[in-house]
Chains A and B, each alone.
Chain A
């Protein structure tokens, strides 16, 4: 059984090195082996053959941003549950009640964002006077 952190994490480090070597070998290998033919049409973005209009850096739905934010909130909550689960058998009902209160508070927030429609992707555009 390895004792120090170096011995514990050395195999992980090795695995990362091997993974990087495989990835580098694959990408580098095809870079070196493939033949290259340039032409003007090939150098346009692929959009099913239609001439591309505008930039790809367009606007996109703010919902993606919202989901990312909500994820951070709820994922931190989920990470709190891990140490709680590890010591659970020592604390038993006390731990259950404590975590139950925490989860109920979180679920209140969840209910709020749910009613606000932050997670409803099929939402119809409302007419302007209601905004």
Chain B
């Protein structure tokens, strides 16, 4: 097939999946936070609030799009545009699976396997600061300006430990291409322990992974590092003056960045689409078993008399999940679906950790935040890097 046509098709699929995930990540976050706080969460719009994202989008689109007279109009409009564009761009280099053959076409399950993939992601995320700074500055509001400044200082401070934490696994893999990075993490030690960089001999990258994730929380302005929008001191920080979809677009960018950070952590440290244990030991049946188990739970609860509201919806969802479990067993689709399953489950787990941390930790004070970045994360990342380098130099032949 024509290369350009194929790219267009892949880009459309990836963008569609990403937008769908963005809409429902919001729902998942609200549900998880609600259950952490022993509440119900969204439950009115559709079964278990599943149509809530659709309702939110309609509401936000039809709200008044306020452009205050005192703002710098061009940058005020441009800032959310820039934030979303950059947040949605970095997904282009993330590998979702190996090179596959589908309907007679060989292709990588990745939009573009750039040989500088890691630098591309770092570059895009650095430019992402501009969206927030411009939003804060152009709003012409004291709180927005302070929020924008805080945010820029915070994001560039945490960019440094993040960059250092990324170099350590690169020492083991010696490549900047994300596709190759994942391929080098295939196989297993002693037949069971996967060769992911977190477990990789000679120097497991556990410290790097933790530093990377902490810096990731700060880069995406998530609790416990959400000082740019600390509502009890700065009203709402850099997006105080924004309304309707422009307001939502900053949240959308935040969620898209979260997905990027989690995919990057998966690719760099958790073996991307490589399974948890070798396929020879049956790891390729895990998705079917998981979905079938979920289906069994759903059908059991749906038919339980104590849940009259879920009488039809839960068994129906259970049947759908059983079908999905069956699809994972179809031989022509297996080489394509199983890597995607592993990639999505690892990324999904990290996203859950992001939400879990938001439901657990309080916010830092600003001086603590900066001291933590420069005085703790930076030296730790540096020491880990030097230790990795020394061990690799001594051990490798």
Nearest-neighbor residue (CB-CB) of B115 within chain A: A8
Nearest-neighbor residue (CB-CB) of B145 within chain A: A56
Residues of A within 8 A of B392 (CB): 88-89, 92
Nearest-neighbor residue (CB-CB) of A72 within chain B: B156
In angstroms, how far is the closest chain A Cβ from the Cβ of B136?
10
Q: Which of A47, A74, A93 neighbours the largest number of chain B CB atoms within 10 Å of its CB?
A: A74
Contact of B386 among A9, A89, A100, A120 (CB under 8 A): A100
Q: Knowing A8-B112, A107-B382 are in contact, say whether A27-B245 is a contact too (CB < 8 A).
A: yes
The CA-CA distance from A82 to B111 in the complex, in Å, is 23
In angstroms, how far is the closest chain B Cβ from the Cβ of A34?
4
Interface of B is mostly: helix
Residues of B within 8 A of A103 (CB): 382, 386
* Total residues of chain A contacting the partner, CB 8 A: 67
In angstroms, how far is the closest chain B Cβ from the Cβ of A62?
11
Judge whether A34 and B63 touch: CB under 8 Å: yes
A105 at the interface (CB under 8 A from B): no
Residues of A within 8 A of B142 (CB): 45, 47, 52, 56, 58
The CA-CA distance from A86 to B367 in the complex, in Å, is 36
Judge whether A75 and B159 touch: CB under 8 Å: yes
List 3 A-B pairs, minimum CB-CB distance, nearest first: A30-B245, A19-B88, A121-B367
28 A-B contacts, Cβ less than 8 Å apart? A2-B3, A8-B114, A11-B11, A11-B112, A18-B15, A27-B77, A29-B245, A30-B63, A30-B244, A34-B61, A34-B65, A42-B68, A43-B70, A45-B139, A45-B241, A46-B241, A56-B139, A56-B142, A58-B142, A68-B156, A75-B159, A85-B174, A89-B174, A100-B386, A107-B382, A110-B378, A119-B370, A119-B371
Q: Which residues of A contact B (CB under 8 A)?
A: 2, 7-12, 14-16, 18-20, 22-24, 26-27, 29-31, 33-37, 42-43, 45-48, 52, 56-58, 60, 63-64, 67-68, 71, 74-75, 78-79, 81-82, 85-89, 92-93, 95-96, 99-100, 103, 107, 110, 114, 119-122
